[in-house]
Amino acid sequence: MRLITLFLVDYILLSLAWILAGYKSFYGNFSWYLPSHYLPILITIGIQIGSLAIEGIYREGQKRYDYLNIIKSLTFAHGLILFACFLYQPVVDITRPKSILLSWLLSILFICTGRYAVNVTLEYLRKQKKIVRSSVFIICDPQDHEQIASFIKKEKHYIVSGTAHANSLDRYQRQKTLNQLNELGVTEVFISWDALKNRMFLCWLFQASGIQVHILPMELKPIYKNVEFNKIGGMPCLSLDCPIITGKDFWIKRSCDFCFATLFVMLSFPIYVAIAIAIKLDSPGTVFYRQTRIGLHGQQFKVWKFRTMRSDAEKLQKELEALNETKDGIIFKIKDDPRITRVGKFLRRYSLDELPQLFNVIFGEMSIVGPRPLPTRDVDKFSEHHFIRHEVLPGITGLWQVSGRSDIVDFEQVINLDLNYIENWSLGLDFEILLKTVMVVLKKEGAY
């Protein structure tokens, strides 16, 4: 609503500025404003609004009332307009010195006045009518509730809808807390630094539900790189811009995954048939192996793979646990696993056993690139901070696979790689990992 209101007010005022500037310059000749000449005016207003947006004038907080930045943005926009007009010589001549100078002065006057009027109106509505306020929630230790609330109430546009203890962010309590916030219509949550501890991925959970997270720094420690410092009633406050793969980012990634997986399966169908025949001839049992894995938001799903082990492999694993080569025992990996079949060794060497997981991608259970989904046996041994990898769709390949695969025996290294991927995600990074995956598979690095 804030964005729409400010945009409409600015659009109307900038249109009025150009109309008045044109009328004054052309002495009442309104032929400039015939429908055929609307496009250049819309482009010039678009340049002005775009310049204001780039400068952050539409963002929340006091920056939208920074009049000096408004003047700088509109001055820059008018410079661009003048330059564009000299280059392209549009049908409408708006480059006359009197017109461009007057439109610049009127644009600055109208926008600054409009922002002031919006601010005064909002202050009146918040103070007198008790409306147009954001519902906020506080999560901190009980002894800090009153002090933090007093700071927040100094900002007239907040209503404190409730408070909760730090344990409301625990793994088995956070969904209940999130449901409570949604029922209260909370749009922002304030969390004390001590309450957050090492569970910063909660910011992604809140942001994915449309709730802005503010961290109240009782002590400063290294945190996310995308941090904005604000003041709430004079109290220092950090706002995090978390790199979550949600909203349009999720659907862009999902669309690319679906198209790639569908096309690849169609083109490589003969390879699937050949592998299936080889498995069937090599050892008794099914062609495909389906295992329960933990995916997005901790949900279970069945992952598809070509069978590379004997049919009784899961029963034999208990007898082989003592040979596990991973440091903390979370992931089960041993070289020369006696359960692997002859064809299975070949398939694993070139990662061909993973091909059926493209069906999981098509069904929306996995992505092409992302943290590898692990069996329930491994997830049951997770520490609290390990569950962050379940906040994105699991992938067939990822940074773990292109950084050593089975040669990495410390699960903390795996978590660090997963975090690095999540925090720096982009389609470009996915493409880079895919290329590296091809190279790793061809070199047979870390595959067993």
Taking the CA atoms of residue 224, residue 225, residue 226 and residue 229 in that order, the dihedral angle to the nearest 10 degrees is 80
Looking at residue 257, its pLDDT comes to 93
Helical (H) or strand (E) element with 288: strand 288-294
**Number of alpha carbons in the 13 Å side-chain half-sphere of residue 291:** 20
> CA angle, 262 as apex, 260 and 267 as ends, to 5°?
95
- 234-257 tens-digit pLDDT: 777 777 666 566 667 788 889 999
- 401-434 tens-digit pLDDT: 887 665 666 778 888 888 888 878 888 889 899 9
**Number of alpha carbons in the 13 Å side-chain half-sphere of residue 80:** 15
Q: Are 334 and 326 a contacting pair, CB within 8 Å?
A: no
Quote the CA–CA distance of 40 and 45 in Å, as a whole number. 9
Q: Are 240 and 213 a contacting pair, CB within 8 Å?
A: yes
Quote the CA–CA distance of 64 and 56 in Å, as a whole number. 7
How, if at all, do strands 288-294 and 300-306 pair? antiparallel
List, in sequence order, every residue forming a beta bridge with 239; answer none if it has no partner: 214, 228
Query: Is 136's pLDDT higher than 80?
Result: yes
DSSP string, 65-95: G-HHHHHHHHHHHHHHHHHHHHHH--SS---
Quote the CA–CA distance of 6 and 219 in Å, as a whole number. 36
**Number of alpha carbons in the 13 Å side-chain half-sphere of residue 206:** 30
E-strand spans in 119-277?
134-139, 158-164, 188-192, 212-216, 227-232, 235-240
383: phi then psi, degrees, rounded to nearest 5: -90, 170
Neighbours of 389 (CB within 10 A): 26
Helical (H) or strand (E) element with 106: helix 97-127
Q: Which range is least confidently modeled, 44-53, 125-134, 335-344, 351-360?
A: 125-134
Q: State CA 75 to chain mean position distance.
A: 33
| 3-state secondary structure (DSSP) of residue 137 | strand
- Residue in 356, 348, 344, 339 with CA at minimum distance from that of residue 291: 356
Looking at residue 199, its pLDDT comes to 53
Looking at residue 182, its pLDDT comes to 87
Using a 10 angstrom Cβ sphere, with 0-12 exposed, 13-18 middle and 19 or more buried, the burial of residue 354 is buried
Quote the CA–CA distance of 279 and 355 in Å, as a whole number. 14
Q: To the nearest whole percent, how much of the chain has pLDDT over 90? A: 19
User: Tokens 């007057």 sit at which residue?
Assistant: 102
- 343-367 tens-digit pLDDT: 988 998 888 999 999 999 999 999 9
Q: Is the pTM of this model over 0.75?
A: no
- Residue in 311, 318, 329, 309 with CA at minimum distance from that of residue 448: 309
Helical (H) or strand (E) element with 222: none
Question: What's the CATH number of domain 134-240, 3.30.429.10, 3.40.50.11060, 3.40.1360.10, 3.30.450.20?
Answer: 3.40.50.11060
Looking at residue 368, its pLDDT comes to 94
Share the mean pLDDT of the chain.
Answer: 79
User: Tokens 């999560």 sit at which residue?
Assistant: 139
138: phi then psi, degrees, rounded to nearest 5: -115, 130
E-strand spans in 221-319?
227-232, 235-240, 288-294, 300-306
Q: Residue 233's pLDDT band (boundaries 50, 70, 90)?
A: confident
Quote the CA–CA distance of 342 and 347 in Å, as a whole number. 9
- 256-311 tens-digit pLDDT: 999 999 999 999 999 999 999 999 998 888 999 898 999 988 899 999 999 998 87
Quote the CA–CA distance of 372 and 386 in Å, as a whole number. 13
Quote the CA–CA distance of 340 and 347 in Å, as a whole number. 10
| Extents of the domains making up the chain | 2-127, 134-240, 247-443
Neighbours of 142 (CB within 10 A): 10
